[in-house]
Amino acid sequence: MIIHTDRSAHQHPVGSEITPLSAYRNRRQWMLGAMALGAAGAWSPQRAVAQGVDRPGRLSPISSVPSSVPGARTVEKPTSYRDATTYNNYYEFGTDKSDPARLADKLKTRPWSVSIEGLVGKPGTYDLERLLRLAPMEERIYRLRCVEGWSMVIPWVGYSLAALIREVQPLGSAKYVEFFTLADPDTMPGLRSNVLQWPYVEALRLDEANHPLTLLAFGMYGEMLPNQNGAPLRLVVPWKYGFKSGKSLVRIRFTEKQPATSWNMAAPREYGFYSNVNPNVPHPRWSQATERRIGDDGGLLARRRKTEMFNGYEPQVGQLYAGMDLRRFY
């Protein structure tokens, strides 16, 4: 991961950066309309970069209603589709931010299924079509903050992971949920590197996994997920550092004991199990006090914003950690 030494002044978002949701939705309606007319043509991230075009349209539209879950719709301006689909962390395709957009085309997302295992009443293979129909799709506009010190605002489409958990009926003994993502050496050149152990694995406490903000995402910007963002389904846990949100999930296991997780195994001093966004706990190699919003003017004097406790979701999730020392459980 990158070392940041930027120490410029903390700043809060200014009013002009805040887009009313209605304006965003109007723009999105316009985009979907343009797609229906065939105006979007063969959009691809590569061509978008080459042409400076910034619009979705390559993938199937996925319908959704605005979420009513408290905290699920920040009014901050969404990151451009182009930035969100060309600046990615998906180490299975390489560690450079541009690798996933360049190489994830190879990922085969159909047919797809997720194996549900461990301490549940209804284990088994759940295919994608069934998962897509399990609960109504909602649009949620979440901030996502990477532990490296950058952040984005993304309109995701999906439903609360809690809906799937309810469906599979965890046993009373289940305390944690473990998420395994795809590791396919034929399509993922990054697996040749040993920066992490593969498959990528992350985990949550069962109550964190059941929190209504924890999203099982199938789409973003009104379309099915692009491969580089974790197609065909991924997790989004907005109050934790981005690495907790595994992409391209293939296996979900319910356990009694706290599972081992990829980043924690790779660098235990740097990445703990909880990994809640906490500006008061510096990464051992850099401060977490501020962040750079992708798409803000770059350059040496790029503004950095103050990072908020739990990435701004403290009113919704703070209670999950009542009484815990969040410096010890980082």
Which residues form the interface with ligand MTE (CB under 6 A)? 88-92, 144, 146, 152, 181, 200, 229-230, 242-243, 245-248
Beta strand ranges found along 46-137 (DSSP E): 65-66, 113-118, 124-127
Which of residues 242, 246, 279, 312 is near Mo ion by CB under 5 A?
Answer: 242
CB of 195 to ligand MTE, least distance (A): 9
For ligand MTE, the closer of residues 73 and 143 by Cβ is 143
For ligand MTE, the closer of residues 222 and 246 by Cβ is 246
In whole angstroms, give the CA distance from residue 166 to residue 14. 40
Contact (Cβ atoms closer than 8 angstroms) between residue 128 and residue 111: yes
CB of 171 to ligand MTE, least distance (A): 27
CB of 178 to ligand MTE, least distance (A): 14
Contact of residue 245 among ligand MTE, Mo ion, none (CB under 5-8 Å per partner type): ligand MTE
Q: Does 149 engage in binding with Mo ion (CB under 5 A)?
A: no
Long-range contacts of 191-198 (CB under 8 A, 24+ apart): 191/92, 193/91, 193/94, 193/95, 195/91, 195/95, 195/266, 196/91, 196/262, 196/263, 196/265, 196/266, 197/262, 197/265, 197/266, 198/92
In whole angstroms, give the CA distance from residue 204 to residue 165. 13
**Part in contact with Mo ion (CB under 5 A); list of ranges 8-16, 76-84, 90-98, 235-243:** 235-243
Contact of residue 91 among ligand MTE, Mo ion, none (CB under 5-8 Å per partner type): ligand MTE
**Token output for 262:** 């990829």
Q: Does 246 engage in binding with Mo ion (CB under 5 A)?
A: no
CB of 37 to ligand MTE, least distance (A): 28
For Mo ion, the closer of residues 32 and 147 by Cβ is 147
Which sign does the torsion angle of CA 214, 329, 176, 125 carry?
positive
What is the number of other CB atoms lying within 10 angstroms of the CB of residue 191?
18
Amino acid at 243: F
Q: Does 200 engage in binding with Mo ion (CB under 5 A)?
A: no
Q: Which of 149, 71, 21, 139 is nearest to 312 (CA)?
A: 71
For Mo ion, the closer of residues 222 and 242 by Cβ is 242
**How many degrees, rounded to 5, is the angle at CA 266 between CA 260 and CA 271?**
75
Contact of residue 92 among Mo ion, ligand MTE, none (CB under 5-8 Å per partner type): ligand MTE
**Part in contact with Mo ion (CB under 5 A); list of ranges 139-147, 177-185, 307-315, 318-326:** 139-147
For ligand MTE, the closer of residues 146 and 204 by Cβ is 146
Q: Does 89 engage in binding with Mo ion (CB under 5 A)?
A: yes
Beta strand ranges found along 128-226 (DSSP E): 138-145, 150-160, 176-181, 201-205, 215-220, 223-224
For ligand MTE, the closer of residues 145 and 304 by Cβ is 145
In whole angstroms, give the CA distance from residue 266 to residue 201. 11
Q: Does 263 engage in binding with Mo ion (CB under 5 A)?
A: no
CB of 183 to ligand MTE, least distance (A): 9
- Per CB under 5 A, residues contacting Mo ion are 89, 146, 242-243
